[in-house]
Amino acid sequence: MSKRPVVIYGANGWPLPKAEREKKLAEMANAVQAGTPPRENPREQRTIDVVVGRGSTDYAQCVVFGTCCYRQTSLLQAFAATQLVHAAPRKVGFASLAEAFGHQEILRVLEEHGLAKVRLTC
C-alpha cells in the first residue's frame, strides 16, 4: 500500500481540504456495490464491434458479435494462463492479448465457447 495521501481535486482544480476529501471518499466507498452482481443474461448483454478498412479501390469489414462480457473476460484469462503454461508468448512486455497469443486463436476460443461470432466481408 502507498503511504501517500489520496488527493481529490475540487471544481476549481485545487486539492480539497481534509474534511471534504474524507466526505468525498466516504461517498465513493458507499457507492461501491457489495456482494455478487447478478448473472449475465446473454439476451441482454450483447456487443457488436465493427471495423472497416478502406483503400483507394477496395475495402474489408469485420463484424464481431459477442455476448456475456464478463464470461469473455474470464475465458480469455483462462486461455492466457493455459497458453503461458504450455508455451512462451509471441510478444512480451506491454502487449495486447492479440499480440501475445494471436488474434485467430482468441477468436477461435471465443467462438468455440459460444461467446462470439465473426463475420468478415471483403
User: Once rounded to an integer, what is the mean pLDDT over residues 23-27?
Assistant: 84
Give 29-57 pLDDT, tens digit per residue. Answer: 888 877 777 788 888 888 899 999 999 99
Cell of 81: 494462463
What's the pTM value of the predicted model, to 2 decimals? 0.64
User: For residues 96 and 12, what is the distance between their CA atoms, to the nearest angstrom?
Assistant: 37
User: Once rounded to an integer, what is the mean pLDDT over residues 96-119?
Assistant: 93
- 80: Cβ contacts below 8 Å, ≥ 6 apart: 97, 100, 101
pLDDT of res. 99:
93
Cell of 43: 439476451
User: Once rounded to an integer, what is the mean pLDDT over residues 91-119?
Assistant: 92
